[in-house]
Structure 1
Amino acid sequence: MPARERNHPLRLLTGALASSRPWTFLRSSQIGHRIRHSLSAKLAVAITLAALVLLLVFGIIVASQLRSSMFETRKDAILADASLRFSSAQSVFSSSTATSPDQVQESARGALASLKASAAGAGATNVALLRSEGSTASLRINQIEDEQMRGLITPQMREAVAQGGAQWQSVGIRASDSDKVSPGILVGTQVQLPRAGTHELYILYSLAADQRQVDVVLRVLVLSALPIIVTLPIGVFALLHRLLLPVRLTVSAATKAAEGDLDVRVEVHGADEMAALGRAFNAMTSSLQDTISRYDELAKLQQRFVSDVSHELRTPLTTIRMAEDIVWDNREDLPAHARRSAELLHDQTERMEQMLADLLEISRYDAASALLDAEERDLRPIVTRVVEACAELAQRQGVPVEVVAPARAAAEIDERRIERVIRNLVVNAIEHADGTRVTITVATSATDVACRVRDRGVGMTQEVADHVFDRFYRADTARARTTGGTGLGLAIATEDVAIHGGRLQAYGEPGKGASFLMTLPKHAGDEIASWPLALWEDE
Structure 2
Amino acid sequence: MRREWRVGVRRGRRVAAPARRAWRRSLHLRVVTLTLVASSLLVGAFGWFIANRSTQILLDRAEDEVHAQMLGKVEYAYQQLTVHRQVFDRTLPATIIDTVNRLADGDSAQSGGAIVSLRADNFPELKPVTSVKVDTTSLITPEMVHAVADGQVAQQIRTATIGGVRTKYLVYGSPVPTSFGHVELYYLVPLTTEDQAANEIRTTVLVTGMALVILLGVVAGLVTRMVVTPVRVAARTAQRLSAGLLDQRMKVDGEDDLALLAASFNQMAANLQRQIVRLEEMSRLQRRFTSDVSHELRTPLTTVRMAADLLFSEREDFDPAVARSAELLQAELDRFESLLTDLLEISRFDAGFAALDAEYTDLVPIVERVAERLAGLGERVGVTIDLRLPETPVIAEVDPRRIERVLRNLVGNAVEHGEGRPVEVTLATDEAAVAVTVRDHGVGLKQGEERLVFNRFWRADPSRARQTGGTGLGLSIAVEDARLHGGWLEAWGEPGGGAQFRLTVPVRSGDRLVAAPLPLIPRDRAVDARPAAIEAAPAPDDDVAGEPAGVAR
The question of whether the paired residues in 1 share the 8 Å contact of 2:144 and 2:173 is answered with no
For residues 475 and 208 of structure 1, do their structure 2 counterparts lie closer, same or farther at Cα, with a shift above 3 Å needed? Answer: farther
- Match for 2:419: what amino acid? D
Structure 2 unmatched runs, 5+ = 1-14, 525-553
1:409 match? 394
- Match for 1:474: what amino acid? R
C-alpha displacement of 1:484: 1.8
The alignment status of 1:367 with 2:351, answered yes or no, reads yes
2:64 match? 76
Q: Deviations over 1:461-491 (max 9, x none)?
A: 5522223222222333246788422221101
2:117 match? 127
Write the distance in 2 (CA, Å) between the matches of 1:409 and 1:206: 98
Q: Higher relative contact order at CA 8 Å, sep ≥6: structure 1 or structure 2?
A: 1
Which of 496, 512, 516 matches 2:481? 496
C-alpha displacement of 1:246: 4.1
Which of 438, 442, 449 matches 2:423? 438
1:90 match? 78
2:545 match? none
1:517 match? 502
C-alpha displacement of 1:286: 0.9
For residues 311 and 160 of structure 1, do their structure 2 counterparts lie closer, same or farther at Cα, with a shift above 3 Å needed? Answer: farther
Q: How does 1:239-388 map to 2 (within 5 A)?
A: 241=225, 245-388=229-372
Q: Deviations over 1:3-47 (max 9, x none)?
A: xxxxxxxxxxxxxxxxxxxxxxxx997677667645555444444
- TM-score, with normalisation over the residues of structure 2? 0.79
1:174 match? 160
Q: Give secondary structure in 2 for the equivalent of 1:175.
A: strand
Structure 1 unmatched runs, 5+ = 1-26, 132-136
Write the distance in 1 (CA, Å) between the matches of 2:398 and 2:424: 22
- Match for 2:51: what amino acid? A
Write the distance in 2 (CA, Å) between the matches of 1:532 and 1:194: 113
Cα RMSD of the aligned pairs, angstroms, is 3.6
Which of 368, 383, 395 matches 1:399? 383
Write the distance in 1 (CA, Å) between the matches of 2:298 and 2:491: 34
C-alpha displacement of 1:48: 4.3
C-alpha displacement of 1:538: 1.4
- Match for 2:314: what amino acid? N
Write the distance in 1 (CA, Å) between the matches of 2:424 and 2:167: 92
1:486 match? 471
Write the distance in 2 (CA, Å) between the matches of 1:180 and 1:36: 52
Write the distance in 1 (CA, Å) between the matches of 2:124 and 2:354: 125
For residues 396 and 225 of structure 1, do their structure 2 counterparts lie closer, same or farther at Cα, with a shift above 3 Å needed? Answer: same
Aligned residues: 503
1:15 match? none
C-alpha displacement of 1:413: 3.1
Q: Deviations over 1:226-269 (max 9, x none)?
A: 55555654465456546755444333322222221111122222
Write the distance in 1 (CA, Å) between the matches of 2:141 and 2:79: 24
Q: Give secondary structure in 2 for the equivalent of 1:535.
A: coil
Write the distance in 2 (CA, Å) between the matches of 1:298 and 1:503: 29
Q: Deviations over 1:348-369 (max 9, x none)?
A: 2222222222112111211222
Identity over aligned pairs, percent: 35
For residues 54 and 530 of structure 1, do their structure 2 counterparts lie closer, same or farther at Cα, with a shift above 3 Å needed? Answer: closer
- Match for 1:394: what amino acid? G
C-alpha displacement of 1:60: 2.7
C-alpha displacement of 1:76: 1.4
